[in-house]
Amino acid sequence: MALMRTITGPTDLKRLSPRQVEQLAGEIRDYLIHSVSRTGGHLGPNLGVVELTIALHRVFDSPRDTLLFDTGHIGYVHKLLTGRHDFSTLRQQGGLSGYPSRDESDHDVVENSHASTSLSWAIGIATARKLKGETDRHTVAVIGDGALTGGMVWEALNNIADHRDLPLIIVINDNERSYAATHGGMADYLASLRATKEYEHVLSWGKRQLNRTPVVGKQVYDTLHGMKKGLKDIVSPQGMFEDLGLKYLGPVDGHDVEAMETALRRAHDFGGVVLVHAITEKGHGYDPATADEADRFHAVGKINPETGLPLELSGRSWTDEFSDELVRLGRERQDIVALTAAMLIPVGLQPFAERYPDRVFDVGIAEQHAVTMAAGLSYAGLHPVVCIYATFLNRAFDQLLMDCALHRQAVTFVLDRAGITGTDGASHNGMWDLALLAIVPGVHVAAPRDGHQVALALREAVAVEDGPTVVRFPKGTVTAPIEAVRTAGSVDVLRDGAPDRPLDLLVVGVGSMAAVALEVADKLQAEGRSVMVVDPRWVLPVSDDLIELARDAGSVAVLEDSVTGGIAGQLRQRLDEAGVDVFVHAYGIPAEFLAHGSRGQVLDRIGLTPDAVATSLSSHLA
């Protein structure tokens, strides 16, 4: 790492010879493999942009010129080139973020952990600088081909086409993948550009043969040249972008620093909007990350850097429980179909897709489209299951509200990674969904407390025919089953209060918080209090059965891994409407953007642990 250690900022890159640049790229790639293997993180995407990022920093002058990365998980090389060399605490509390972070560096502008927003940021920044007379400052958006499937990109491109004089460069990082392989018309179009580039290579080869074997070479060259017009008419290598009035350069080998620098310098000097098409390979230079199972290297845990195999075997996950039950339901019901937004593997749809390939739709990074398409599928007689991370539901709230709920379409949403996720930071915590869903008329929301309940909730959700349903569960290893001691209508009672004594406290554990609620009850019961713990199972709308249980309690405490007040607020309102005068203590996630750390560390930081909640309740109940 001798050369890498001398790079404290982009200025240091500009003095390097081509040979030193090649050495630096090798050192960075080795460093990423060995450091990320110890901490976990986004490995494959960053291995694919080593040379591309070096070229960007050699041509442009960050932070005077603004570099935006879409998505931001490809920012590791950028961090190293801007002086952040200690990756030992990557994505850990107090360590480097897994995304660009303004708190870390002036070189970072947009966290951009939700895809397809970079072009909108870019035209905003470039326009503001033009109005301020700062036309010598460039704005560069590096956008992965997967992010081009998002609708915001095309809204931004439409707008950019009206402002072609801006010093704005769009770099397409084309590796044919988002999390997994990129699908759709845009992917097909980029593939045609790659095919045309290969054709040009073959044509050049034929031309070179004229000087070596004139007869054969001329035959090859004449044949290929005769095909040229027809082939170009078919694939139109620059047509779509140039029809928008955008200058197109490429395709360029994204792993050839000199070629990338040449293209970027041409773009820099053009004086207007330029699109540079770079061909890269996800996981480049690391055999395990480019093999048949390359997609599992998009984001890794701790791995053996030599083999790429995980060092820690994870147990059965909440996602596994959902995945297995969906396969069973798919076998029983031909009307069940599944949709995802470029996350087929992470949300557990791969087994369903293998068995029922015609019933799975990966729409790209386009949550809004996925939800409204699901409404259409429902209207036409199918039952769609939309599988996304809880944090990404934010992007499709209007479609959930106006296309699904308003029209009472039977669409089931499965929200993976609900609650605190931790290491990916503020943008990935699935903490807003319950507060948003609480204002959607007619929606039914289940929060399973364990893996067995995931399967039951999913089966119940797809049986609903008069409106949307939601099943949410957290990231990580599934907890042991928590048995109910009895049921009170639709509510599971997990712990009864002391017999023959007034009930001091009713504790409502929402989803995975049920286990915390039981520990809180243990601590309060040790103080001599009568405490009942319940799991509503279906948390929205608040059931009449829960209201009746609350009627007999001295007070109620709601524990939810969502923004404080989501379920608690709905329970308060229902209690008021029912004329039940009981105080509701709300314990949830504060309305803050929470810094990255492990899930346990974040929960401890915000006081959503058994000790903290029990101490708080004990003081209130005194």
Catalytic residue among 79, 282, 359, 572: 282
Catalytic residue among 58, 91, 359, 395: 395
CA distance 450 to 431: 19
Q: Residue 156, by phi and psi: left (phi above 0), alpha (psi -120 to 50) or beta? A: alpha
CA distance 445 to 539: 6
**In sequence order, which residues have a C-beta less than 8 Å from that of residue 1 and are 6 or more positions away?**
27, 30, 31
Q: Can 501 be counted among the known catalytic residues?
A: no
The SS3 of residue 173 is: strand
Q: Within 13 Å of residue 78, how many CA atoms lie on the same side as its CB?
A: 32
- The reply to whether 73 sits in an annotated binding site is yes
For every residue of 68-121, DSSP letters joined together read EEESGGG-HHHHHHTT----TTTTSTTS--SS--TTT-TT------SSS-HHHH
Q: Residue 255, by phi and psi: left (phi above 0), alpha (psi -120 to 50) or beta? A: alpha
Residue type (1 letter), 590: P
CA distance 558 to 513: 9
- The reply to whether 175 sits in an annotated binding site is yes
**In sequence order, which residues have a C-beta less than 8 Å from that of residue 453 and are 6 or more positions away?**
537
- The reply to whether 115 sits in an annotated binding site is yes
Q: Can 395 be counted among the known catalytic residues?
A: yes
Please provide residue 512's backbone torsions phi and psi, each rounded to the nearest 5 degrees.
-65, -15
Q: Within 13 Å of residue 24, how many CA atoms lie on the same side as its CB?
A: 28
Query: Counting beta carbons within 10 angstroms of the beta carbon of residue 226, is it exposed (0 to 12), middle (13 to 18) or buried (19 or more)?
Result: exposed
Catalytic residue among 177, 367, 475, 572: 367
- The reply to whether 136 sits in an annotated binding site is no
CA distance 16 to 4: 11
Joined tokens for residue 177: 């993948």
The SS3 of residue 427 is: helix
**In sequence order, which residues have a C-beta less than 8 Å from that of residue 127 and are 6 or more positions away?**
163, 166
CA distance 622 to 619: 5
Q: What are the strands of the beta sheet with 336-340, ordered from one edge?
A: 360-362, 336-340, 383-389, 412-416, 469-472, 444-446, 538-540
- The reply to whether 450 sits in an annotated binding site is no
**In sequence order, which residues have a C-beta less than 8 Å from that of residue 340 and are 6 or more positions away?**
347, 349, 360, 361, 362, 363, 370, 386, 387, 388
- The reply to whether 113 sits in an annotated binding site is yes
CA distance 622 to 618: 6
Q: Are 139 and 274 in contact (CB under 8 A)?
A: no
Q: Within 13 Å of residue 146, how many CA atoms lie on the same side as its CB?
A: 26
Joined tokens for residue 102: 């303004």
Q: Can 22 be counted among the known catalytic residues?
A: no
CA distance 437 to 394: 10
Please provide residue 288's backbone torsions phi and psi, each rounded to the nearest 5 degrees.
-60, -30
- The reply to whether 65 sits in an annotated binding site is no
Query: Counting beta carbons within 10 angstroms of the beta carbon of residue 22, is it exposed (0 to 12), middle (13 to 18) or buried (19 or more)?
Result: middle
Q: Residues marked as binding?
A: 73, 113-115, 145-147, 175, 286, 367
- Which parts are annotated binding residues for Mg(2+)? 145, 175
Which residues form the catalytic set? 282, 367, 395
Q: Which residues are annotated as a binding site for thiamine diphosphate?
A: 73, 113-115, 146-147, 175, 286, 367
